[in-house]
């Protein structure tokens, strides 16, 4: 069965609205789809407020200084490692 032609959009918003209401299978042959890899895509970041004891921040800064990285980066690394460990323990794939 021939697929419908994808229209030309005037804006990203118009395209977003179109795909929100249309079935993409009527326009694309998903059987021929291949996984896409975006090696240079940076994840979206969100700023949060986190209250930590001053002593914990001081210890984190000492460790970060020894590793020659910003303490915020070290905190993200520690969180990332622990989250991965907990997901494996819980049997949740990431």
- Please give the Cα distance from 1 to 17 (Å, whole number): 25
Q: Tell me, what's the pLDDT at 42?
A: 87
| pTM summary value | 0.55
Structural domains of the chain, count: 1
**By C-alpha distance, which of 85, 84, 49, 56 is closest to 71?**
56
- Domain membership of residue 1 (yes or no) is no
- Domain membership of residue 40 (yes or no) is yes
- Domain membership of residue 17 (yes or no) is yes
CB of 18 closer than 8 Å to CB of 6: no
- Domain membership of residue 64 (yes or no) is yes
Range of the domain at 51: 12-89
- Domain membership of residue 7 (yes or no) is no
- What are the pLDDT tens digits along the chain (94 aa)? 678 999 999 999 999 999 999 999 999 999 889 998 888 988 888 999 999 999 999 999 999 999 999 999 999 999 999 999 999 999 887 5
Q: Tell me, what's the pLDDT at 92?
A: 87
């Amino acid at each position: 069965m021939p697929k419908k032609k994808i229209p030309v959009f005037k804006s990203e918003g118009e395209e977003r609205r179109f795909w929100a209401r249309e079935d993409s299978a009527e326009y694309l042959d998903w059987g021929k789809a291949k996984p896409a890899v975006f090696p240079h895509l940076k994840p979206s970041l969100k700023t949060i407020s986190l209250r930590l004891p001053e002593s914990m921040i001081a210890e984190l800064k000492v460790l970060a200084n020894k590793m020659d990285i910003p303490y915020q980066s070290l905190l993200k690394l520690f969180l990332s490692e622990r989250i991965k460990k907990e997901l494996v323990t819980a049997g949740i794939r990431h």
